[in-house]
Amino acid sequence: MKPKALKKGDKIAIIAPSSPTTKEKVEKAISSVEKMGLTPIVYPSCLSEHGHLSGTDDERAKDINDAFENKEISGIVCLKGGYGTPRLLNLIDYEAIKKNPKYFLGYSDITGLHIALNKMCNLVTYHGPMASSGWINNLDDYTLKYLEKSLFSNIALGIVENPEGEQIESLYPGICEGEIVGGNLSLLVSTLGSPYEIDAKGKILFIEEVSEHNYRIDRMLMSLDLAGKFSDCNGIILGTFTKCEPDTKDDNFKDLDLMTIFNEIIGKYNKPTVYNFRAGHNYPQPTFPFGVKVKLNADDGIIEFLESSNV
């Protein structure tokens, strides 16, 4: 299911399904959404706090369900990431969402919702900047271009290029096609063994991460490997691994570097694979849809979105 492309003046729900933030940042997020020509509707979770969460599980899930069911709301933008979405997955009304497909945007911890909405509702969703970070301080020309395309266009995204000076590199050659799925590595692993476990069969798997030592990246990639995700998929896109550094152990033993880890875990499958796609915890960053067909040319480092994500 594809949401309708937005138009200027549409009402947009701002929700906080993960960690809390300050009232000041919420106010700035409101202003940022207004500058995009959209009408922000702030849901209660944005101004709530429950320890490390932006409200209780019931409160945050209610905001998601209410925003999808509200006929006046045309799209949903997550305020920020952090942690919290796995606690909501059993509380979401997927049948109601199937009847009310809408634009849905976020990344990082929002991966938990991307996976569930893609799998349980077959809904196209969008990986991109959130209202309290990207929309406030980081709408450079590159980021803004791809955000506006995802919001307002019903034309296929086509070839997504990196920001100037950054190259999409080939790790393993080959050309493949498939529906793109994925997101943050920690969240992909946290849903393994659940009804929301990512389905990578015949698909192109996108992975990014932030602030994890390399040995933890190794462990999480191995979890995906043991679950058959790399053998199932058609190809792999490695996004940014921001602030992911080796950890020095006792007696000065040091983690393997990331390229060695990628080669040893992913390489044995000889699937078309690229790295340094500048999507993840970094700016500039593109907004792109999950759940649409993509052509991955790992020979030349080209990622091409073949179908529209909006109607």
Strands (DSSP E) found in the chain: 11-15, 39-42, 73-78, 103-106, 125-127, 158-159, 169-172, 175-184, 204-210, 235-242, 273-275, 288-290, 293-297, 302-305
For residues 177 and 195, give the distance between their C-alpha atoms in angstroms, rounded to a whole number: 25
Q: Render pLDDT for 129-148 as a digit per residue (tens, 0 to 9).
A: 999 878 988 899 999 999 99
Residue 198's pLDDT is what? Answer: 98
Query: Which stretch of 47-51, 190-194, 249-253, 301-305 has the lowest confidence by average pLDDT?
Result: 249-253
Question: What's the pLDDT band for 275 if we cut at 50, 70, 90?
Answer: very high
Question: What's the pLDDT band for 219 if we cut at 50, 70, 90?
Answer: very high
* 186: annotated active-site residue: no
Residue 138's pLDDT is what? Answer: 83
Judge whether residue 1 has pLDDT over 90: yes
Residue 249's pLDDT is what? Answer: 82
Beta partners for residue 184, in sequence order: 208
Please state at what angle helix 214-226 crosses helix 258-265, rounded to 10 degrees: 10
Angle at 178 between CA 174 and CA 179, to 5 degrees: 145
Angle at 167 between CA 154 and CA 257, to 5 degrees: 120
Output the CATH code of domain 158-305: 3.50.30.60
CA nearest to 71, candidates 10, 162, 125, 20:
10
Residue 133's pLDDT is what? Answer: 79
Report the topology of domain 11-139. Rossmann fold (3.40.50)
Dihedral through CA 109, CA 144, CA 153, CA 101, nearest 10? Answer: 20
Judge whether residue 284 has pLDDT over 90: yes
0.85 surpassed by pTM: yes
Of the candidates 18, 74, 108, 309, the residue annotated as catalytic is 108
The contacts of residue 101 (CB under 8 Å, 6+ apart) are: 1, 2, 3, 121, 123, 124
Residue 20's pLDDT is what? Answer: 97
Question: What's the pLDDT band for 100 if we cut at 50, 70, 90?
Answer: very high
CA nearest to 209, candidates 234, 184, 192, 230:
184
Count CB-CB contacts under 10 A for residue 64.
25
Q: What is the mean pLDDT of residues 103-125?
A: 98
Q: Return the amino acid letter for 285.
A: Q
Q: Residue 10 is encoded by which pair of tokens?
A: 């549409």
Q: What is the mean pLDDT of residues 78-105?
A: 98
* 108: annotated active-site residue: yes
Of the candidates 208, 209, 212, 309, the residue annotated as catalytic is 208
The residues spanned by each domain of the chain are 11-139, 158-305
* 72: annotated active-site residue: no
For residues 28 and 10, give the distance between their C-alpha atoms in angstroms, rounded to a whole number: 19
Angle at 85 between CA 84 and CA 88, to 5 degrees: 105
Judge whether residue 223 has pLDDT over 90: yes
Judge whether residue 72 has pLDDT over 90: yes
For residues 120 and 136, give the distance between their C-alpha atoms in angstroms, rounded to a whole number: 32
Q: Across the chain, what does the average pLDDT equal?
A: 97
